[in-house]
Amino acid sequence: MRGTDLMTHSRVVLHPNPCRTVVRPFEPGFPEGFAGTGKSRLQLIAERILSLDEPHLRAELKRIVASFSGRQDDVERILLRRFDETIGELGVDGNGLNRLRKLVIGGYFCEEYSFESAALFNPSVVLHHDQSGVPQGSVRFVMSLRGIGEGHVSSVTFRTGIWTPGGDIQIDDPHPAGIPPQIERKEGPEGYESVYLSCGGARDISETVLFPFTAAQRQGIEDLRLVSFQEDDGRISHLGTYTAFSGSVARSELLRVSEDLHHFEMHPLRGSVAQSKGMALFPRRIGGRYAALGRQDNENVWFVTSDDLITWDGGEKIIPPKYSWEFVQMGNCGSPIEIDEGWLVLTHGVGSVRNYCIGASLLDKDDPARLIKRMELPLVHPSPKERDGYVPNVVYSCGGLVHDGMLLLPYGVADTFTTFATVKVDDVLAAMV
């Protein structure tokens, strides 16, 4: 397909890196039919560890520390924290154990997980709250990415960078390891479980990794769409919607990010719209209500509103498939971007041979359910240089950024890697019909 060729494509490419790991819980259980001993496998393993004498324990700890060498900082702190998280399930008195035994037990109930070993794609981007020290004319940004690791499990990872509209894109080098968050779960209404995460030990958001924490997320936390949300009093907060995938059911959930980028809240969304994937929040209330775009029928882009940010029902179709590259499916590529002319909406369309392309539409600023115009041809389409990977012929984004009249569009290629393109907003609008 011949596109509109408006975009300037960057040479910056983010590839998956199997060397980046995070330590996550490891809790083996019995297969079906073998759990009749009266003790869990964790208890049995702990008893074996406690039977070791001091020389064996010291040798084992040395092996544990060596296995983390070069990737994880402060290994003993990680091991002790994992022991504290597990002690309630072990059936032993933690007060009677010395530091050495606690460290070794912690080492048996954690594992290193290479969270972006297979893929790093489907990015979204927002302005960083801290713009100090940024060169004049440039902006600092925060970007979320979807990483895929062992078992095709999806996690969320982050990067920071600096963009000069009309110029360079610079991505800061990420920390080599991820820091596992401290986790607090709270049961909510109707059995919905919220998760509160603290990554207070992180020096940089690139160390933060959000891997699955609940049964609803078991197979992945996918395609986070970040948005800088402006409250009515002018305060800005980072919110996002993502897909929680259990392995059989996909549904939408909400992420709140603290200003220091170290604390997170994950809340399941309710209502008929939340039973699907691909929601994207507007960056402010519309007519006093929260608003979002959805694709609950897997064909059209929908406009939906809510009174409480958690419950989403109903909605109306606003952008239907019209052109051949959209015939199979339409959806958003991130939150709407407010510009003088209205709401700029990046869209994805699926056409023949399951090709995914990225286009754009313009919605009325006061009535976002009204489509003003749209692109007849896509902004970005799978090119001969950008079509090969885990899922061929796919380009996809979870959100762009407009600054100084320019659009920065990070996008994933073939569900494998991420790159960037830029374009003047006026050129995008001029290409719409």
Q: The whole model's pTM is what?
A: 0.93
Residues 156 and 35 placed together within one structural domain of the fold: no
pLDDT at 3: 53
Residues 390 and 327 placed together within one structural domain of the fold: yes
Residue 404 has pLDDT above 50, yes or no: yes
Whether 91 is in a domain gets the answer: yes
The rounded mean pLDDT for the chain is 93
Whether 324 is in a domain gets the answer: yes
Query: By residue range, what is the domain housing residue 50?
Result: 21-113
- For the chain, the domain total comes to 2
Residues 73 and 127 placed together within one structural domain of the fold: no
Percentage of the chain beyond pLDDT 90 is 81
Residues 14 and 32 placed together within one structural domain of the fold: no
Pick the last residue of a domain from 113, 144, 179.
113
pLDDT at 178: 84
Residues 166 and 30 placed together within one structural domain of the fold: no
Whether 242 is in a domain gets the answer: yes
Q: What is the mean pLDDT of residues 105-111?
A: 96
Whether 70 is in a domain gets the answer: yes
Q: What is the mean pLDDT of residues 324-350?
A: 97
Instruction: Give the separation between CA 360 and CA 248, rounded to whole angstroms.
Output: 31
Q: What is the mean pLDDT of residues 89-115?
A: 93
Q: What is the mean pLDDT of residues 55-61?
A: 97
Least confident segment among 93-97, 107-111, 157-161, 268-272: 93-97
Residue 2 has pLDDT above 60, yes or no: no
- Read off the pLDDT band of 361 (50, 70, 90): very high
- Read off the pLDDT band of 326 (50, 70, 90): very high
- Read off the pLDDT band of 359 (50, 70, 90): very high
Residues 83 and 208 placed together within one structural domain of the fold: no
Q: What is the mean pLDDT of residues 313-326?
A: 97
Whether 2 is in a domain gets the answer: no
Residues 39 and 158 placed together within one structural domain of the fold: no
Pick the last residue of a domain from 113, 136, 154.
113
Question: Of residues 19 and 386, which shows the higher confidence score?
Answer: 19
Residue 205's alpha-carbon distances to 159, 163, 199, 253, 326, in angstroms, are: 7, 18, 9, 21, 36
pLDDT at 138: 97
Q: What is the mean pLDDT of residues 396-422?
A: 97
DSSP state of 151: G
Q: Phi and psi dihedrals of 310, rounded to 5?
A: -105, -35
Q: What is the mean pLDDT of residues 401-424?
A: 97
Q: What is the mean pLDDT of residues 222-243?
A: 95
pLDDT at 1: 47
Whether 179 is in a domain gets the answer: yes
Residues 281 and 241 placed together within one structural domain of the fold: yes
Whether 422 is in a domain gets the answer: yes
Residue 251 has pLDDT above 80, yes or no: yes
pLDDT at 182: 85
CATH value at residue 325: 2.115.10.20
Across 87-105, b (16+ Cβ under 10 Å) vs e yields beebebeeeebeeebbbbb
How is residue 15 written in tokens?
Answer: 């590839």
Pick the last residue of a domain from 53, 86, 113.
113
Residue 70 has pLDDT above 80, yes or no: no
Question: Of residues 383 and 424, which shows the higher confidence score?
Answer: 424
Residues 209 and 342 placed together within one structural domain of the fold: yes
Which residue in 163, 170, 176, 248 sits closest to 206, CA to CA?
Answer: 176
Q: Are 420 and 12 in contact (CB under 8 A)?
A: yes
Whether 372 is in a domain gets the answer: yes
Instruction: Give the separation between CA 130 and CA 141, rounded to whole angstroms.
Output: 9
Residue 189 has pLDDT above 90, yes or no: no
Instruction: Give the separation between CA 18 and CA 280, rounded to whole angstroms.
Output: 30
Residues 415 and 318 placed together within one structural domain of the fold: yes
SS3 40: coil
Residues 243 and 392 placed together within one structural domain of the fold: yes
Q: Are 177 and 71 in contact (CB under 8 A)?
A: yes
Instruction: Give the separation between CA 360 and CA 378, rounded to whole angstroms.
Output: 7
Question: Of residues 362 and 179, which shows the higher confidence score?
Answer: 362
Residues 121 and 45 placed together within one structural domain of the fold: no
